[in-house]
Amino acid sequence: MTELGIKRFSSLVELEGMREKLLNSRSASAKSIHVCTGPGCVAKGSFKLYEIFCAAVEGAGSDVQVQAKCVGCHGFCERGPIVVIEPGGIFYQRVEEPDVAEIFRETVLGGRVVERLLYEDPNTGKKVEKANEIPFYKVQERIALSGNGLLDPTEISDYIAEGGYTALAKVLSPMTPEEVISEVELSGLRGRGGGGFPTGRKWRSCRQAEGSPKYVICNGDEGDPGAFMDRCIMEGNPHSVIEGMLIGAYAIGSEHGYIYVRNEYPLSVERLKNAVAQAKELGLVGETILGSSFSFDIRINRGGGAFVCGESTALMASLEGRPGEPRAKYVHTVESGFRGKPTNLNNVETWANIPHIINRGGKWFAGIGTEKSKGTKVFSLVGNVVNTGLVEVPMGITMRRIIDEIGGGIRDGKRFKAVQTGGPSGGCIPAEHLDARVDFEELTKLGSMMGSGGMIVMDEETCMVRVAKYFTDFLQKESCGKCTPCREGLAQMLYILDRITDGEGQVGDIERLEELGGLLEGTALCALGKTAANPVISTIRYFRDEYDAHILDGRCPAKECRGLFRYEIDPEACNGCGICLKNCPADAITGEKKVPHVINQEKCTLCGTCWEKCPFTAVLKV
């Protein structure tokens, strides 16, 4: 890039020289405004905040050393939009457009803190200025997400200045492909896309496989409900993914790479394309990288719009222009994958860990986590939890610490009921196992899975039968239909769950669901089908009493299934305001002003309008 003072790096020395030049050009007194452009903050208007800050910087004059930059997801989505002022790391949350002028005047120009925009610790009532003092961040250990919130994802100069492509330089200078693979094996890194297969072993198998050319693929087709881990890395630090792929390609002996991005992630596609173009311009992607004999090119492909395309063989079929349908796994993709050639596929988070492992050593990474699950894992923490967002924690941490310390506990003082991990094919884990470790083995033992990192928290008012029905419905719609067990088995499971939640369940339905679950696990073609029954089987395992209540008593204990509970008005709480009477579409409510009202159960259609409209919580579900 010409603005960096060089057109193309032709050697490692030139890369290091540019890094030093960039660092020296930074003034210690210069201020920097970091505006989060992660998905949560963007939804709340952070792009507009960035534009207003840019206008403020421009209007401040050339003698004021201030830079406004968009950065990746900070993770604390519940408190967005987030703005951080450097140096000093002043952390402002829930920033709105009218706040921009005050922040610029008071903090950027005046060095004073705007107290009302600081985070307030709910336990102490103390205002907190820096992110590392906020409970949400204290427990975390950020590796894959370390560049998010710090780097401008649209500027390669930011990545280079902070040590970007150092790992690539290290690999191309003193290390052989064998040494690179050995370092990744030493790290114990396992695939973060759901399967948990040892990354180093996969790389070695691909390198040793016969045939050429060899391909390297990044799986960015993230489709789990509530998941946005890979999206935030692609949008917040795309060069970390590219550098990881370059290192993997060198180790495997590949010259061709693809990043397959979910079609619903247009910003991810835009930032990856921009990052690849910048890296090519500087000689970090393409022919004779950094003056070496190593060449590697990357193409960005948008996904086929189907959840099943996240499965490795379905993804490769989609890349080839065929329908995204999986194939049997007796032929491994490292031997015959994309276009029938040896192919190594890892997901976004896996690739983003590679530069850190090369720079800091496999032994360092292996020192984090548990015996069989090394390093950290990124999770999207969503659902009925106070602090929703993106978190990265060491493997082996307990679910209780994630939910209570990072997540701040359950909303509105309600009780925790279950947490669903592993995406739509994961299981629901109850309160009795909150102290279980979060790692590959422990979650599988509990009837769930690590998956790609979705974590959905549910409170006491959640019907677990409806949860099982929701995920079964999702998977049934997303099944490619290629194999009979998945196509027909999921349809039958959904039919049974529909009947149960409609109050038409039959004795023996639970056993039928268990039988279908075993059939899917043993005979489905791909991982989607084999694990599709997990939400059903795990909820039966831990919440069978709820299934029995629906089937035997015609009652939904959580009062979510329409027809399996009724609405009543508490005469002691009702003051006769008449709001429920006026809004009832079925004219099922009677009563005089200032006199407790009554619901006619024969007329009531269970629409819930009275429950939603009552300002005094006098309408109860019973």
CB-side neighbour CA atoms (13 Å) of 449: 22
Whether the bond into 39 is cis, omega within 30 of 0? no
CA distance 314 to 326: 4
Which residue has tokens 């060899």?
214
What pLDDT, in 10s, does the model give residues 12-71?
Answer: 888 999 999 888 887 666 889 999 999 999 999 999 999 999 999 988 877 778 899 999
Q: Residue 267: its pLDDT value, please?
A: 94
Q: Report which residue type is found at 533.
A: A
Q: Residue 223: its pLDDT value, please?
A: 84
Whether the predicted pLDDT of 481 surpasses 90: no
Tokens of 502: 């409609």
DSSP for residue 385: B
CA distance 404 to 400: 6
Q: What mean pLDDT do residues 138-150 have?
A: 94
What pLDDT, in 10s, does the model give residues 317-363?
Answer: 999 999 988 988 778 999 999 999 999 999 999 999 999 999 999 99
Q: What mean pLDDT do residues 550-570 have?
A: 93
> How many CB atoms within 10 Å of residue 289?
25
Q: Are the CB atoms for 202 and 344 separated by under 8 Å? A: yes
Q: Residue 299: its pLDDT value, please?
A: 97
Q: Are the CB atoms for 304 and 263 separated by under 8 Å? A: yes
CA distance 387 to 76: 7
Q: How far is CA 540 from CA 445, 490, 533, 559, 560, in A?
A: 15, 16, 11, 18, 17
**Rounded to a whole number, what is the distance in angstroms from the first to the last CA of the chain?**
67
pLDDT confidence band for 241 (50 / 70 / 90): very high
CA distance 448 to 360: 32
Q: How far is CA 360 from CA 166, 190, 301, in A?
A: 11, 17, 31
Per-residue HEC secondary structure of 45-92 comes to: CHHHHHHHHHHHHHHHCCCCCEEEEEECCCCCHHHCCCEEEECCCEEE
Tokens of 503: 């109050």
Q: What mean pLDDT do residues 230-246 have?
A: 97
In 395-487, which ranges are E strands?
A: 416-421, 428-430, 454-459
Give residue 446's Cα distance to chain centre. 22
Q: Are the CB atoms for 438 and 398 separated by under 8 Å? A: yes
Q: Are the CB atoms for 216 and 260 separated by under 8 Å? A: no
Whether the predicted pLDDT of 161 surpasses 90: yes
At 207, give phi and psi (nearest 5°). -65, -40
What CATH architecture is 376-459? Answer: Roll (3.10)
CA distance 369 to 440: 11
Q: Residue 29: its pLDDT value, please?
A: 65
Whether the predicted pLDDT of 2 surpasses 70: no
Q: Are the CB atoms for 90 and 84 separated by under 8 Å? A: yes
CATH of 464-552 among 3.40.50.970, 3.40.366.10, 2.30.110.10, 1.20.1440.230: 1.20.1440.230
CA distance 541 to 539: 5
CA distance 589 to 579: 10
pLDDT confidence band for 1 (50 / 70 / 90): low
In 339-485, which ranges are E strands?
A: 343-347, 376-383, 389-394, 416-421, 428-430, 454-459
Whether the predicted pLDDT of 533 surpasses 90: yes
User: What is the helix, strand, coil percentage profile of the chain, to 5?
Assistant: 45, 15, 40
SS3 249: helix
- The residue ranges of every structural domain in the chain are 2-134, 163-366, 376-459, 464-552, 567-621
Q: Residue 3: its pLDDT value, please?
A: 54
Q: Report which residue type is found at 594.
A: K
Q: Could you tell me which residues come within 8 angstroms of residue 480 by beta carbon, excluding any fewer than 6 positions away?
A: 306, 308, 314, 323, 324, 325, 326, 486
Whether the predicted pLDDT of 124 surpasses 90: no
Strands 83-86 and 90-92: antiparallel
Whether the predicted pLDDT of 370 surpasses 80: yes
Q: What mean pLDDT do residues 251-279 have?
A: 96
Q: What is the CATH number of domain 567-621?
A: 3.30.70.20
Q: Residue 6: its pLDDT value, please?
A: 64
Q: Could you tell me which residues come within 8 angstroms of residue 404 by beta carbon, excluding any fewer than 6 positions away?
A: none
Report which of 300, 347, 338 is spatially closest to residue 320, judged by C-alpha positions: 338
Tokens of 345: 């596929």
| Helices 238-252 + 266-281 axis angle, to 10 | 60
Q: What sign results for the dihedral spanned by CA atoms 436, 141, 352, 358?
A: negative
CATH of 163-366 among 3.40.50.2300, 2.10.109.10, 3.30.450.20, 3.40.50.11540: 3.40.50.11540
Q: What mean pLDDT do residues 530-556 have?
A: 95
Same fold for the pair 163-366 and 567-621: no
Q: Report which residue type is found at 616.
A: F
Q: Residue 452: its pLDDT value, please?
A: 82
Q: What is the CATH number of domain 2-134?
A: 3.40.30.10
Helix (H) or strand (E) holding 488: helix 484-501
pLDDT confidence band for 280 (50 / 70 / 90): very high
Q: Are the CB atoms for 610 and 568 separated by under 8 Å? A: no
